[in-house]
Structure 1
Amino acid sequence: MSDRITVVGVGADGWAGLSPRAREELLAADVLMGGSRQLDLVPVSVCTAERVVWPSPLLPALPGLVEANRGRAVCVLASGDPMFHGIGTTLVRLLGAERVRVLPSLSSVSLACARLGWAADRVEVVSLVSRPVEAVHPAVHDGRRVLVLSADGRTPAGVAALLTSRGYGASPMTVLERLGGDDERLVSGTAGGWAVPETAALNVVAVECVAAPGTVPLPCLPGLPDETFEHDGQLTKREVRAVTMSRLAPVPGELLWDVGGGAGSVAIEWMRAHRENRAVAVEKDGGRAERLTRNAHALGVPGLTVVTGAAPGALDGLAVPDAVFVGGGVSAPGVIEACWRALRPGGRLVANAVTVESEVTVAAWHARIGAPHSEMVRLAVSRAAPVGGFTGWRPMMPVTIWTAVKPAEPVEEERR
């Protein structure tokens, strides 16, 4: 008997909507696994295989379930396309592609776009399954269309409240319930006028984003306005942050350490650069760490990990970073050493120095690492400000930005 698991995508129309091949796999199965809703879509009178309802939480139990049924014909039922935010991707990650056969059905995104007449390739898709509603923030832009995969029947109301708070209350919203089923239903309104506290649990929220006049956009590129962040002055300013991000050079899927997180602006901008990016912000002040967390949620990256503690001790046990930003504590003993030691080969370390003491530290490291792996840039920014009845330039404190790329082999100075 093959150890390969078959994953069958099933729509709200259940058995009637399955392909002949999918039906054959289900009829030949010894075991059917899935959520209770998916299992109920396949009549017991038709498919007599043993049924296993997913436990909660699922992920810790999944390896044991697979191992307990090794040697049996196992069929997993999933909603729509199992490889689109579905159990199929989890099983492939666990078992490898060679042990998983996937028979997809139409995804909820395909069905929603078909009902609405939307081009699927022009729609931003956000899943809120096991994610807070704030994950929608990065997709909200005037004139854009967004499809939200709901966690439950309360998700639409949460999305409406978020849009309204952002200045997008005029945005038309359509909730598509039980797509593909006999009891499919569409509920429409605007975000600001949404009056349905709970819809059917199985739903997709379609939004056409419309910003009210004067609504401040949140751009995709680094350099969000300083006032976007709640802060107490400990903030990497907008112009400096944009240059800093260019030096950190975020790549999809990479992990950043933001050491001395402050308001979290760099870690937040890093995660906003791509939805797969990850970041850990280390901040020793408890009040700032709480503020940083609020900023992460408000700006659409609720997955940012916040560690409250002082570096270098707080860095112990963290996952290996692809990039490190040191915005606070540059001159603190052992901080740069710990960050450089933890950084993977090819990773980038960027440190911003404002004080003479921190400049001494980065200058010493620049000399130690040397070209072509290390460089320093001094950035001086002035902003226009009123001077009596006129306008003059008000200089900000200059910032020295040190950037180093860790070589595959230690440089000569490090070997000594």
Structure 2
Amino acid sequence: MTNHSTNNSPYDCLIIGAGAAGLLCASLLGKKGVKVLLIEHTKKIGAKILISGGGRCNFTNMDAGPSNYISSNPHYMKSAMKRYTPWDFIDLLSAHGLTYNEKKLGQLFCDQGSKAVVEALIKECEEAAVEIAVDCSIHSIEHQEGYTLVTKEGRSFQSNQLVIATGGLSIPKMGATGFAYDVARQFNIPVTKTEPALVPLTFTSDDLTFMKELTGVSIDSLVTVGTTSFRENILFTHRGISGPAILQISSFWSLGRPIHIDLHPSGSLKEALINARQTRPKQQLATFLSDFFPARFAKAFTEKYLENIPLTQISNKKLEGFLEIIHHWTLTPNGSEGYRTAEVTKGGVDPNALSSKTMAALTQPGLYFIGECVDVTGWLGGYNFQWAWASAAAAAESITENLS
């Protein structure tokens, strides 16, 4: 690995961004004999891989398919994902002695952790003679016959093939920037609207007060926006609500829209409540609900939205009203936690301006965009990594063919 020490000799391909997509693309090219320089503007390689899955790296999803992605071109990802599957990346990890387990819903995690995944990708690059320049910021990109990258220190690198793999705007403290979008615009490639996705939702006033008191409480729920629903846990925080179900639905939510939460999606509480009204008539409603929810939540929810009265005092009309609130709790977020905590960026380089087979810009020869910077946003659960791997492989295949 080099640190501002790479010479100015020409390269077959320059890749900007040493994250998931950039690392895999570089290694695949290097293995084909392509001379690659992989450039990273921070000091750390694979930073977002390292924090993924709480450090355990949810590196793919066995169920990954086009329906698990949001894009202005819903067909764009089909070609790349068909040609590079989850099994292809599993084979890569296996070659380095790494193993995995399925946590749930097709989500695969590396048993050895995120660091081992990054180390495997770096080793792939080293074995393929890829040069990696870290702490190397690009000041400008010029294009005449080929591409010339000029660093902030005034040094330059040249190649006819340029891959942008710098990700989106999410988690700026880890070095995320809008670099890819700036490059796209420089070459008149459209960029769709960008916004935080897979992000906790925030609330104000009474809703927030209620949620703060329940910070840390998690509940299995079905969360819906419009016609889209996800069933997983929600998690109360001091800013609002997070948890897998909320992160998932955030990609489909927009300001001003309500979210609907079924707090007991495994079945109606009606029969249990009617039976308890007969067998335990003096029991308080909050005590009854604590059989189905965490006690803190049962107490707080009853006090705010229901009435903590003996079950015998709950009329049939009140019972229906209580059940409606529990199964159709409706809230309107005032926003999200933004890019600061968003796992990915929704929107990006317009896929309609790129080849779905090669990831290359249709109007700019030799320029490729891969990974998160493209307007392809996966669900939570390894889908975005699978897009990174698949788009990287598609670009590498195309570049190899171009240079042969």
Fold conserved (TM > 0.5)? no
- Greater RCO (CA < 8 Å, at least 6 residues apart): 2
Q: Which has the higher helix share?
A: 2
TM-score tier after normalising by the smaller chain length = under 0.3
Computing the radius of gyration from Cα coordinates, the structure with the larger value is: 1
Per the normalisation by structure 2, the TM-score is 0.24
Per the normalisation by structure 1, the TM-score is 0.23
